C-alpha cells in the first residue's frame, strides 16, 4: 500500500514539474534566440563610418561654341584695324574634366541581416568634387594671325547621396574574421553643381540617380575601392550673349550630357575596433 502511495506521489510530482520545466526551457530558448538576433543586428554606427579619401572623376561631353572675330589680310591691317573681314563660326569640341579630386564622409545604417555575413542598409553621405573642364586647343585662321582658343573652366559638384545597398563581409558583420568586403547599391544624390566659365552660368540643383559597387579587404584596417556611375543628362552650360548681333568673342556656349563616373578609395577608420578573428 505504501508503495502505491509513493508511486502516486511521484506521478503527481512529475506531471506538475515537467510542464513547468518545458515552459522554462522554451522561454530560455526564446531568450537565446532574441539575444542572438540582437547581437547580429548590432547597429554600432560609429564602427560603420567611412571616408572617401581620394577620388578620380571621369566626364567627357561635347561643348558647342559660337565665336565672332575679324580677319586681317596682313600685319599692317592687323595693327591699323583696317581692311578687316568678319569671322563668325560655330564649332564643337570634346570637353573633359581634369585635375579632379573628390572626398566624402558617410555611414551605413543597417536595415536587415538575411544571414550572419550580409546585410541590407542605407548609406548616407556628404560628398564634394572639384575639377576643371578643358578641351584641346582650337585654332581659327584669321589671315595674318590665327585665333587660338583654350580654356580651363572650374567645376564643382557637392551632393548628399542616400542609397540602398547590399553588403557582404566585414562591414556587414563588423568582424575581422570576414576579410572580404563586397557591396552594390543604387540611390539618389541631391546635387549642387557650379561651372564658372565667366558667362554667369547659373548653378544647378538636381536629384541625380546613381549606381555603385565596392570591393575591399581587411588587413589591419579596412579599405575599399568604389566605382560610381551617375545616370541621366544635364544641361551644365547654356549661354547666349545678349548682344549677339554686335558683340565679338564668345557669343554662345552649350555644354550638356551625363555627369560621368567616379573611382574612389575608401577607408573605414573604426575597423580596428571590429571583433577580432576567431581562434581556430
Based on the fold, state whether residues 31 and 70 are members of the same structural domain. no
Other C-beta atoms closer than 10 Å to the C-beta of 177 total 15
Cell triple for 197: 566659365
For position 279, what pLDDT does the model report? Answer: 43
For position 275, what pLDDT does the model report? Answer: 81
- Would residue 198 count as lying in a domain? yes
Residue 250 predicted with pLDDT over 60? yes
Residue 175 predicted with pLDDT over 80? yes
**If you average pLDDT over every residue of the chain, what do you get?**
81
For residues 73 and 184, which has the higher predicted lDDT (pLDDT)? 184
Cβ atoms 225, 214 nearer than 8 A: yes
Instruction: Find cell 575596433 and name the residue.
Output: 273
For position 84, what pLDDT does the model report? Answer: 59
The residue among 58, 57, 40, 167 whose CA lies nearest residue 106 is 167
Q: Is 255 helix (H, G, I), strand (E, B) or coil?
A: strand
Cβ within 8 Å of residue 199, ≥6 positions away: 237, 239, 250, 253
- Per residue in 89-120, pLDDT (tens digit) is 888 999 999 989 888 999 999 999 998 899 99
For position 8, what pLDDT does the model report? Answer: 55
The residue among 244, 266, 279 whose CA lies nearest residue 66 is 244
Residue 203 predicted with pLDDT over 60? yes
pTM score above 0.85: no
For position 85, what pLDDT does the model report? Answer: 67
Question: Residue 73: pLDDT band by 50, 70, 90 thresholds?
Answer: low
Based on the fold, state whether residues 110 and 14 are members of the same structural domain. no
C-alpha span between 150 and 132 (Å, rounded): 12
Pairing of strands 204-219, 180-195: antiparallel
| The total number of structural domains that make up the chain | 2
For residues 138 and 42, which has the higher predicted lDDT (pLDDT)? 138
Could you tell me which residues are beta bridge partners of residue 271? Answer: none
Cβ atoms 10, 18 nearer than 8 A: no
- Would residue 280 count as lying in a domain? no
C-alpha span between 277 and 112 (Å, rounded): 23
Based on the fold, state whether residues 29 and 51 are members of the same structural domain. no
Based on the fold, state whether residues 131 and 15 are members of the same structural domain. no
Based on the fold, state whether residues 11 and 90 are members of the same structural domain. no
Angle at 275 between CA 271 and CA 280, to 5 degrees: 130
For position 189, what pLDDT does the model report? Answer: 96
Question: Residue 28: pLDDT band by 50, 70, 90 thresholds?
Answer: very low
Based on the fold, state whether residues 109 and 13 are members of the same structural domain. no
Based on the fold, state whether residues 93 and 52 are members of the same structural domain. yes
Cα-Cα end-to-end distance for the chain = 60
Based on the fold, state whether residues 94 and 188 are members of the same structural domain. yes
Residue 280 predicted with pLDDT over 50? no
- Would residue 278 count as lying in a domain? no
Based on the fold, state whether residues 146 and 98 are members of the same structural domain. yes
Residue 215 predicted with pLDDT over 80? yes
How many residues are there in the chain? Answer: 280
- Would residue 267 count as lying in a domain? yes
For residues 97 and 31, which has the higher predicted lDDT (pLDDT)? 97
Q: Which domain holds residue 3?
A: 1-37
Based on the fold, state whether residues 51 and 1 are members of the same structural domain. no
Based on the fold, state whether residues 28 and 90 are members of the same structural domain. no
Based on the fold, state whether residues 195 and 106 are members of the same structural domain. yes
For residues 26 and 242, which has the higher predicted lDDT (pLDDT)? 242
Q: Which of 77-86, 119-128, 172-181, 242-251 has the lowest mean pLDDT?
A: 77-86
DSSP 77: H
Amino acid at each position: 500500500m505504501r508503495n502505491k502511495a509513493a508511486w502516486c506521489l511521484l506521478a503527481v510530482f512529475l506531471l506538475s514539474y515537467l510542464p513547468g520545466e518545458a515552459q522554462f526551457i522554451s522561454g530560455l530558448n526564446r531568450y537565446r534566440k532574441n539575444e542572438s538576433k540582437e547581437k547580429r543586428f548590432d547597429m554600432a554606427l560609429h564602427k560603420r563610418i567611412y571616408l572617401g579619401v581620394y577620388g578620380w572623376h571621369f566626364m567627357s561631353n561635347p561643348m558647342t561654341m559660337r565665336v565672332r572675330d575679324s580677319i586681317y589680310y596682313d600685319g599692317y591691317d592687323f595693327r591699323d584695324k583696317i581692311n578687316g573681314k568678319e569671322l563668325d563660326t560655330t564649332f564643337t569640341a570634346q570637353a573633359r574634366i581634369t585635375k579632379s579630386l573628390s572626398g566624402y564622409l558617410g555611414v551605413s545604417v543597417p536595415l536587415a541581416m538575411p544571414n550572419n555575413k550580409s546585410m541590407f542598409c542605407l548609406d548616407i553621405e556628404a560628398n564634394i568634387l572639384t575639377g576643371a573642364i578643358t578641351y584641346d586647343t582650337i585654332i581659327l585662321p584669321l589671315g595674318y594671325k590665327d585665333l587660338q582658343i583654350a580654356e580651363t573652366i572650374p567645376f564643382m559638384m557637392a551632393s548628399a547621396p542616400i542609397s540602398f545597398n547590399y553588403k557582404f563581409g566585414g562591414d556587414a558583420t563588423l568582424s575581422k574574421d570576414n576579410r572580404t568586403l563586397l557591396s552594390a547599391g543604387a540611390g539618389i544624390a541631391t546635387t549642387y553643381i557650379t561651372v564658372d566659365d565667366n558667362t554667369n552660368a547659373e548653378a544647378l540643383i538636381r536629384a541625380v540617380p546613381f549606381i555603385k559597387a565596392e570591393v575591399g579587404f581587411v588587413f589591419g584596417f579596412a579599405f575599399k575601392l568604389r566605382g560610381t556611375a551617375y545616370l541621366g543628362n544635364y544641361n551644365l552650360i547654356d549661354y547666349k550673349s545678349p548682344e549677339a548681333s554686335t558683340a565679338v568673342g564668345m557669343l554662345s556656349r552649350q555644354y550638356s550630357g551625363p555627369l560621368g563616373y567616379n573611382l574612389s578609395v575608401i577607408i573605414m577608420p573604426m575597423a580596428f575596433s571590429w571583433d577580432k578573428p576567431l581562434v581556430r
